[in-house]
Structure formats: structure tokens, C-alpha cells
Amino acid sequence: MKRFKHILLSIVSLSVLALTPACGDNGGGGEEGDKGLVSVGTPVAEALGTSTATLKSSVTISGNPKYDRIGFCYATAPAPAVGAAMSVNAAVNAGYAVADLTGLEPATTYYARAFVTGTSEGIIYSSEYQFTTGQITVDEQLANYEAPAYPDDYRTLADWSKRDQWNLANVHDPSVVKADDGYYYMYQTDASFGNAHTAGGHFHGRRSKDLVNWEYLGGTMPQLPGWVIPKLNEIRGAMGLDAVNPAVADFGYWAPVVRKVRSGLYRMYYSIVVPGTLNGANTWGERAFIGLMENSDPANNSGWVDKGYVITNASDRGLNFNVRPDDWGNCYYRFNAIDPSYVITPAGEHWLIYGSWHSGIAAVKLDAETGMPDINVAPWGTEADIEPYGKLIYTRGLGNRWQGSEGPEVVYRNGYYYLFLAYDGLDVPYNTRVLRSVNVDGPYEDMYGTRGDMGGDAYPIVTHPYKFAGSHGWVGISHCAVFDDGQDNWYYASQGRLPNIAGDNWAPNANMLGHVRAIRWTKEGWPLAMPERYGAVPQVPITEEEIAGVWEHIDLSYKYGEQRSSTSMTLAADHSITSGPWKGAKWSYDAESQILTANGVELYLMRECDWERNPRTHTIVYAGLGNRKTYWGKKSK
């Protein structure tokens, strides 16, 4: 990476912060009654590049002041603040705090302040410093691009002894949150190729600064929480059933969701699935639980503290255990307590969205301080009796309790709550749908007005099994996390599975590789996940001259369990389409919005990595919506 010498144009001032410590141990040490002083200077850029900067600030620590950490916060707007801007911790040595900033945009002005947190006066900031990253030409940006090198078939890296090389290998049902330290933290269901994860606890985590290179962190929960079996037997006793003591190894640890509540507080809701049956042979399966853990800093992977039971399966069959276990359409449970999603509204309300397969998806309000719902009734009875367990916000079909939908993810953007759902079996058919509402508890509607609580399939399709030319493609792409970087750049993360290959007996479908995709939003506000996985390609403006050529076009129309394959399509320089499924139609291009209109369909463009090409490199991709159809494509020539 080329670096440019930075010329300082202003006199650096020094801020002197006098801190009076509270009692007890702290980041700066100290004993009861001690006082101390911390002096931090306005930061300067010791080194500056096109996407990196090294900030340095003088620091003097005398005595034993109380503080947690020293670092730098930075943003493209003035007055950056911890929690509302990007931040990094600084290494303090020989009177200076130093930190490297990465992932910066070229030719962009940033504002930075040094900070000290955990003082008796709260967060204290230095004076503000302004710097501008260097410029590089369009040709240089793309010429310098290096595509991700990690393998799609990761079997040689799958075992526990090679976990430091996993990157996005062995990812299933991910949840992603961006933390105060600038890292994206990812957590997941307990699943891996060959069950390699079982050596390391539960709800495994990893982190990344660039969404491409991920550091494996290990399990966040060392063992089954102590409340689970007692709570199970408390419920069973109230139902008139005998106590049980299932083997700890047989419990399932599924689909956590992690959110930042505020600076210094992160919550993880997780699913614990109980083995066994409700009342012996030929009865419905046992229940699941959703629990809660909290952490002040996800960088401390062992710092997750369990807060206990949140909610369980609710049944409107009362104590009628006579529902056959194979009577899927008449399931015993109304709501299944798995697959939590957690959303905080702009008004400060906290909501848990959960459920799957059993009847549909429910929304229940939480207490903001505790993260717990106010439910004081048994998880069985009539539909009215179990009303506190949540309001139905989505069902794939009224009158059939076996939904073929799960994995709700709810996020808020620009006045809408978006409900993403996983459809069908997770091995091959898995695909993603989305609805939206102006209210967190609905009604949710798809882009054609279908109400989620009234039954019916939702459109648009966000992901679906697919295959570009020259590759095996991907299946099982769903149960997603949807998240942003704080600057309205949004991403979709899920697992992807390699399809079963004829004549090969190594079960590639058990390969669960983490996929991250950039999202573009249509003019009408619907999300489009890009067809190629995110590879941190520089988003250099796409010119009209680059549009002409050969593209691989995929009609991503729904087909259960079938990969949708690409077809070659040629866009000629004279704005005609000369081959492929839209042959004879015209195309035009709006360079300002980067929207290609072909055959009357608006296709939203981005630069992305061409994962199928050898060697991998950058290309241009598109995604667009038609009449109940989603279209994906990439330029191949």
C-alpha cells in the first residue's frame, strides 16, 4: 500500500485532563483515596495512506487515576464520540498512545479525537484533529485489488487443531454486530464439519475489521447453563410429568442473536433445544428455551455472563398430549422458542422476535433494563391464555402448523422494520424472503401486499440456491444476519453449503462456509443481496463503457431444492441485447445511481469479487427485481 507524507497545517494543542479516581482497582491501578492525572494530546497522523492512518497522541499518567481505556474515535463528521463513531484502542508506551486505523476510504476527510473512558467524569475527549486520506487513480484502485484467498472447500482446515485458519469455515446461522472497537463480531449455532467445534464450548465467536479476514475467538458459553434442567423440570412438574435428567451432550445450542444495546452493554439471546419427548413414546418432542447472556466488551470472549431463562415453547393445546408426533400440520406447540432476533426501536422499545416451523413467528415486548419479557402465565392453555408469549407476525400458511419457515431477522431502516425469513429445508432448498412494516409488531407485508399474519409466500426472494458457469455453486443459503456499518452500508451474512456432487461420497453439503454479501436498496426500499460474496472490492464508479460485454444472468425464480443456473447474455455497445434470455431488448445506464435498465428491469450494480474465476479477481455484478422474480448477474467478459 502506498503511503503519502502528511503535512501538518495546524499547531497541535495539548489537553490536560485532571482525573480524580473513584475507590478500588481500575485500568490505571490505584488504591482507595489515591488521585492521579492523565494528560492526552490532540492526535496527529504519524503515517497516512489511502486507506490507513497511524494516529499518535502524547499521554502522561501520574499517580493512579481511575480509567478503563485510552484510544481514538474517528468519523467523517466532526465531533466523533465513543459509541457513535468508529473507535480503536491505543497502545500506550513511552508517553504516547498509538493506534492504526484501517479500512478508511481514499481521498476522504476524517475527524479524530483521543479519548479516555471509565473516569469519574465519564468519557473525556481531546481536541479534534482533521486529516485527509490520500488519493489514488481508478486504475490503481482496481489494479491493486487482492481477492480473498481462503478456500471454499475447507475440509483440510476443518478440524479443531486448525481453528486459527478457519476464517469463515464452519459457520452456521450467524449473527453479526459491530462493536465500539470497530470490529464486527460474529456468533453462531453449534455446527461444524465433523463436529469439530465440540472441543471448544458453545456459541462460537469470531471477529473482523474488514468482513473478509476473520479471527476465531472460541466458545462464549463453556457448558450448559445451570438453570436449564431445573427450569425444564419445574415446567414438567406443573404439567404433572415426571422429572427428567437428559444427557448434557444431547442438548442443542442454536441460532444466537447479538446486539449492541449501548456502549458497554451487548446482549446475546440464544436457543437451547431439549432432547427427548414430552410424555414418552408417540408424544411430541420436548421444548426449547431462549436464554440471555450479556457482555460489556465482546473483545473479552470469556466475559459473557448468563442472565438466565427468557421464554419457552407455548402450547395452545393445554395439557392435551395426544397430538401425534407425526401430525405436523396439527403441531402441539403454537410457538417454538428458537431463532431469536432482537430489535430496539427508535423510541427505545425492546422486542424479541422468535419462532419457527411451529405455527409461525411471534413478537414479544421486553423490559429495556433487564432484557426480559413480562410473562407470568404457564406456557400452555388456550390461545388467549398464552397471549403473553407473543403476537403472531408471520405464518406461511393458515391452518397448517408445519411452516417450512424459520430464522427471523428483524432490522430497522428508514422508517421500516424488515423481517427476513428462511424458507424450506436447510440442506439444499434454503432460501431467504423479506417483508416489512412501519410497526415492529406488524402487520408485515411483502412487496406485493401479502400480509405476513394472514398466510402466503413472501416476495422478494433475497437468496436462493444458484450456480454461475464453471462452478458447483452454492445451496443452503439462508438463516441470515442483516447488519450495517453505522453509515448506511448494509450486509447480509449466512452460511452457504456446497451441493452434493454426483459420484463423490464426502458429503460436501456438510461444508458450512460463512457468506457475507453487500446489500443495495431499491428506490422503493427493498433489499437486494449481491450475487457474489463480499470481497472488499474498491467501489470505483462504474462507467457506461464497462457495461457492454458478456454477462452471466440468473433468473432466481423459486424452485424447491434446485439451483438456478446462469445463462450467457450479451449487451452490445449500441445498447441492444444481442444474445441470451433478453435477446432483442434494449439497455440503458444511469451512471450516477449505478442502475442498469435492461429489458425494462432495473438492475443495481456494484463491483465485487469474482469467486469463480481462477485466479479470483474483481468484476461487476447486479441484482434486480421483476414480477415476483429476483435477477442476479455478473460480467464475465
Q: Which of 374, 378, 356 is nearest to 364 (CA)?
A: 374
Separation of alpha carbons 349 and 99, rounded Å = 36
Q: pLDDT at position 505, please?
A: 62
Average of per-residue pLDDT values in the chain: 92
> How far apart, in Å, are the Cα atoms of 95 and each of 57, 90, 338, 468?
9, 12, 51, 55
Return the C-alpha torsion angle 393, 395, 400, 402, nearest 10: -110
Q: Stretch 80-107: mean pLDDT, rounded?
A: 91
The predicted-structure confidence for 29-50, as pLDDT tens digits, reads as follows 434 434 678 878 999 999 998 8
Q: pLDDT band for position 439 (50/70/90)?
A: very high
Given a cut of 80, is residue 151 above it in pLDDT? yes
Separation of alpha carbons 75 and 308, rounded Å = 37
Q: Stretch 415-440: mean pLDDT, rounded?
A: 97
Q: pLDDT band for position 533 (50/70/90)?
A: very high
Domain residue ranges of the chain, discontinuous segments joined by +: 3-136, 173-524, 544-635
Q: Is the backbone peptide bond immediately before 222 cis, with ω within 30 degrees of 0?
A: no
Separation of alpha carbons 576 and 579, rounded Å = 9
Name the CA radius of gyration of the chain, rounded: 26
What percentage of residues in the chain have a pLDDT greater than 70?
94
Q: Residue 42 in contact with residue 57, Cβ under 8 Å?
A: yes
Given a cut of 50, is residue 110 above it in pLDDT? yes
Q: Stretch 118-135: mean pLDDT, rounded?
A: 90
The predicted-structure confidence for 228-281, as pLDDT tens digits, reads as follows 999 999 999 999 999 999 999 999 999 999 999 999 999 999 999 999 999 999
Given a cut of 70, is residue 337 above it in pLDDT? yes
Neighbours of 18 (CB within 10 A): 12
- Backbone dihedral region of 17: left (phi > 0), alpha (psi from -120 to 50 degrees) or beta? beta
Among the residues of 112-197, which ranges form H helices? 138-143
Q: β-pairing, 466-467 with 564-565?
A: parallel
Q: pLDDT at position 504, please?
A: 67
Given a cut of 70, is residue 341 above it in pLDDT? yes
Q: Which of 354, 289, 290, 284 is nearest to 319 (CA)?
A: 284
Fold of 3-136: Immunoglobulin-like (2.60.40)
Q: Residue 110 in contact with residue 129, Cβ under 8 Å?
A: no
Burial label, 173 (beta-carbon count in 10 A; 0-12, 13-18, 19+): buried
- Which residues touch 338 (CB under 8 Å, ≥6 apart)? 254, 255, 271, 273, 288, 290, 354, 355, 356, 406
- As given in the structure block, the three cell numbers for residue 262 are 449501548
Q: Residue 225 in contact with residue 243, Cβ under 8 Å?
A: no
Q: pLDDT at position 240, please?
A: 97
> How far apart, in Å, are the Cα atoms of 610 and each of 148, 168, 514, 532, 598?
10, 17, 17, 7, 22
Note the pTM of the prediction, 2 decimals.
0.82
Q: Which of 113, 103, 121 is nearest to 37 (CA)?
A: 121
Separation of alpha carbons 469 and 566, rounded Å = 6
Task: Give the 3-state secondary structure of residue 590.
Answer: strand
- As given in the structure block, the three cell numbers for residue 521 are 436498496
Considering the four listed CATH numbers 3.20.20.70, 2.70.98.60, 1.20.140.10, 2.40.128.10, the one that applies to the domain covering 544-635 is: 2.40.128.10
> How far apart, in Å, are the Cα atoms of 386 and each of 363, 486, 542?
13, 38, 54
Separation of alpha carbons 339 and 204, rounded Å = 16
- As given in the structure block, the three cell numbers for residue 175 are 449473527
> How far apart, in Å, are the Cα atoms of 362 and each of 352, 453, 477?
8, 10, 23
E strand intervals along 395-548: 405-413, 416-423, 431-437, 461-463, 466-467, 475-484, 490-497, 512-521, 527-529
Q: Is the backbone peptide bond immediately before 615 cis, with ω within 30 degrees of 0?
A: yes
Q: pLDDT band for position 633 (50/70/90)?
A: very high
Considering the four listed CATH numbers 3.40.50.970, 3.50.50.60, 3.30.530.20, 2.115.10.20, the one that applies to the domain covering 173-524 is: 2.115.10.20
Domain 3-136 and domain 173-524 have a common topology: no
Sign of dihedral through CA atoms 603, 608, 610, 611? Answer: negative
- As given in the structure block, the three cell numbers for residue 477 are 443459503
Q: Which of 50, 41, 17, 183 is nearest to 98 (CA)?
A: 41
Q: pLDDT at position 50, please?
A: 85
Q: Residue 572 in contact with residue 578, Cβ under 8 Å?
A: yes
Given a cut of 90, is residue 21 above it in pLDDT? no
